[in-house]
Structure 1
Amino acid sequence: MTDVQTLPAPRAVLLECEDVRHALHAVQDPELDEPITDLGFVRSIDVTRGVGGLVVSVHLRLPTSFCSPNFAYLMASDSKDAIAAMEGVEKVVVELDDHHDSDLINAGLAADAGYRGTFRHEAEDSLDELRWTFRKKAHTAAMERCLTELLRADRDLAETDVGGIRLADLSAGRSKTALLRRRETLGLPTHPNAVVLVDHEGHTYAPEAVSMALRRARSTRISIDGNAHFCRGLLRTRYAGSEADQSVRPEGAEPTSHHTLLPVAVKEIHP
């Protein structure tokens, strides 16, 4: 739940905290391709008034203490950048709670040391390289969702024929909107005549390679959706009441009933 510190003008502070939450909605979990606000990863938001503007303090939480440190740092760093860009903000403090690398990550964020400055020899890739990798996966999943919806809607359409589907052939809706946004991120064309089934560089597939390309894309999408469902459940187990901060269903994802997951026992419980 979001914690709001009591200040002289409580109504104004509430609006400011909601503004911060709105800014954090643009921060994605790189692996799950969902906003950290929808996943329930924002534990608290505090807004106070400093000498030259607002001081914003945010605490983040993750489903387990051993979530990948590079993903954790990426989300925390992006959160700090998103808030720092807000008008009227003087200082930003973002801290990651209950992670095995919390002290290291929080110190690096406070010092603005950057990812490589924080992890030094352990940082194999830059943040930009990490972002690019997961933007490609997000595009692949969004592309597969659109084409699978089309195949389900048109039983006469053969899987081998989807290589010729254009953006204009897709029905307007959440899945198409998500695909267009992800194509823009990769610099891919978004005009109506653009082919849907392409790789991250915009290359199309030969007819004999279409089925395999679609199956690989489906594997990526299922992995993302399944991991997201899994992590949501782990967070609810780890932090009592955190389900109130999670969205009901992520953008464009399959219903959770499509995922059958084994029960997991998590020993650490945090109030």
Structure 2
Amino acid sequence: MTLTQHDAAAFQDLLAASTEAVAATVREADVRRALDAVLDPELDEPITGLGFVRSIDVTAAADGTLVTVHLRLPTSFCSPNFAYLMASDSKDAISALGVGKVVVELDDHHDSALINAGLAADAGYKGTFGNEAEDSLDELRLTFRRKAHTAAMERCLTELLRADPALTEANVGTVRLGDLPAGRTKDALVRRRVALGLPTEPAAVVLVDQDGRPYPAEHVPMALRRARSTRISIDGNAHFCRGLLRTRYAGSGADQADRPEGAEPADHHHLLPFTLKEEHP
């Protein structure tokens, strides 16, 4: 073996070892943890807990680790803008791990080809959907962050009403963050306030409008009822979508979290039975 051949072989061995080392730094568990931060915008739950992550593959490559993720949704006609948002956020969350390349693909959706092509080209939301993209992703995120915050407010105040019989709905407009008991319900509310840039100090009023303003006393009961309607809608839709996914994909229930943060137990929902004709293994 000549020196040149030896050097080439040594270089290949070094490259292989380096590639394996890079791959070892990012594992499937790391990718899944990154995806825990990606929420379904309408259901306000992580896509991991909903069972929307179909597969994760981490492969060593010469130019860095390749991560390939396949996503699935409860039906083929789930809203394309929601689908794109989750897929795009997934790609961003994994890219933040510093891997070489990220491929995120949405399976079995009527716009899969369009969404997957847009993600692969980093075309962006409007670049992917063109004239069909009515709102920007930022506007879409803001709309659903506000809904998530509304539901979180209601959960905290309802929890307080159940714990204190002397407290009435008419009086919850004066409840402040410092009055709420510590726990995951309050923690969830604080995180949603942070996402919207709302105050989080103990003196901040809990029940506020989308701009962070407290309601006049006479409007408080109606504001709480509207918030309750929003929360029930989110929790009910989440429960329904979980069932749809289990019906569509055999075995997907094993990938779903038992109970999401802040949501009502499953037996609080009484939904009509449904039949879904399309099924995928």
The TM-score, its normalising length taken from structure 1, stands at 0.94
Q: For residue 139 of structure 2, give the secondary structure of its aligned residue in structure 1.
A: helix
Give 2:4's aligned residue: none
Matched, 1:20 2:35: no
| Equivalent residue in structure 2 for 1:98, among 95, 102, 108 | 108
| 1:218 corresponds to 2:211 | no
Match of 2:260? 250
What does residue 265 of structure 1 align with? 275
CA distance in 2 between counterparts of 1:118 and 1:247 reads 32
How much does 1:200 deviate? 2.1
Q: Say whether residues 1:66 and 2:93 are aligned partners.
A: no
Check the 8 A contact 2:28/2:56 in 1, yes or no.
Answer: yes
Kept in 2, the 8 Å contact 1:249–1:255? The answer is: yes
Deviation at 1:15, TM superposition (A): 6.4
Runs of 5+ consecutive residues of structure 1 not aligned to the other structure: 1-7
Measured against aligned partners, the alpha-carbon deviations of 1:34-64 in whole angstroms (never above 9, x if no partner) come to: 0000000000000111112110000000000
2:107 corresponds to 1:75: no
Name the amino acid aligned to 2:271.
Answer: L
Query: Is contact 2:38–2:47 with CA below 8 Å preserved after alignment?
Result: yes
Specify the alignment match of 2:192 in structure 1: 182
Alpha-carbon distance in 2 for matches of 1:119, 1:181: 31
Does the Cα contact within 8 Å between 1:165 and 1:195 map onto a contact in 2?
Answer: yes
Q: Helix, strand or coil: the match of 2:27? A: helix
Residue 36 (1) aligns with residue 36 (2): no
Distance of 2:172 and 2:107 partners within structure 1: 45
Asked if the contact 2:26–2:97 (Cα under 8 Å) also holds between the matched residues in 1, the reply is no
* CA–CA distance in structure 2, aligned partners of residues 14 and 155 of structure 1: 53
What residue number does 1:145 align with?
155
SS at match of 1:45: strand
Identity over aligned residues, as a percent? 76
Code of the aligned partner of 1:83: I
Greater C-alpha Rg: 2
| Alignment equivalent of 2:135, drawn from 125, 146, 150 | 125
Correspondent of 1:228 among 234, 238, 242: 238
User: How does the TM-score come out when normalised to structure 2?
Assistant: 0.91
Equivalent residue letter for 2:127: G
Q: Distance between the aligned counterparts of 1:240 and 1:24, measured in 2?
A: 22
Give the 4+ runs in structure 1 shifted more than 3 A: 12-15
2:122 equivalent to 1:112: yes
Across the aligned residues of Structure 1 and Structure 2, the Cα RMSD in angstroms comes to 1.4
**Matched AA of 2:224:** L
- Count residues in correspondence: 262
Q: 1:216 to 1:202 in 2, by over 3 A?
A: same
